[in-house]
Amino acid sequence: MDISLWGCTLVVIAAFVTDIRTMKIPNELTLSAMLSGVLFHSLTGGLQGLAFSGKGVAAGFALLLVMHVIGAVGAGDVKLFGGIGAWLGALLTLQCLLYSVLCAGFIGVLILLWRRETLKRLRSIISSFAGVFILKSLRPIKAGQEQQLRFPFMLAVVPGYAFACMYTLLW
């Protein structure tokens, strides 16, 4: 396995432990992940490594920032994906994010089924989206965020990261 995957794996494991314990990912972890990833790729790949890592930081950070603005993830997750991007580059970071979002959806459905809230939540989501289209405003979605289902996003990132790495190693 590539050294950059090992470096990123350590970051993901540390973020998982802290997110499960505290529902927060500390800045010390996320910023050191970004800096160490950029430094590693700069030292091993020169300017091309710096560009590879910089594109990864930008891709991971920007996409999660959009998710943060709509209330789907916390600020620590945004910075963490910047760190993941620094280690993995843009393409693998996007794959990791895609798999993580799919895993989060699966986990969310399982939680709703376990709590038997599925129909209630589905009606709420449909009415929020109907309000957006009728009122042409995001206010109905923002109003529904108080009742939004919450769980540590790292529960989805770890399997998403594993799927992305397996895909890379197999192909």
**143 part of a folded domain:** no
Question: How far, in Å, are 4, 89, 106, 139, 165 from residue 96 at the CA level?
Answer: 14, 11, 15, 31, 8
**24 part of a folded domain:** yes
Q: What is the pLDDT of residue 13?
A: 96
Range of the domain at 9: 3-103+153-170
How many domains, the chain?
A: 1
Q: What is the pLDDT of residue 139?
A: 55
Q: What is the pLDDT of residue 144?
A: 47
**160 part of a folded domain:** yes
**127 part of a folded domain:** no
Helices 154-170, 3-22: axis angle to 10 degrees equals: 160
Taking Cα atoms as reference points, which of 22, 134, 37 lies closest to residue 79? 37
**129 part of a folded domain:** no
Question: Mean pLDDT of residues grouped by 10 in the chain (171 residues)?
Answer: 87 95 94 96 96 97 93 91 96 96 90 70 67 59 53 92 88 70
Question: How far, in Å, are 19, 32, 59 from residue 155 at the CA level?
Answer: 9, 22, 21
**158 part of a folded domain:** yes
**118 part of a folded domain:** no
**119 part of a folded domain:** no
Q: What is the pLDDT of residue 160?
A: 96
Q: What is the pLDDT of residue 1?
A: 47
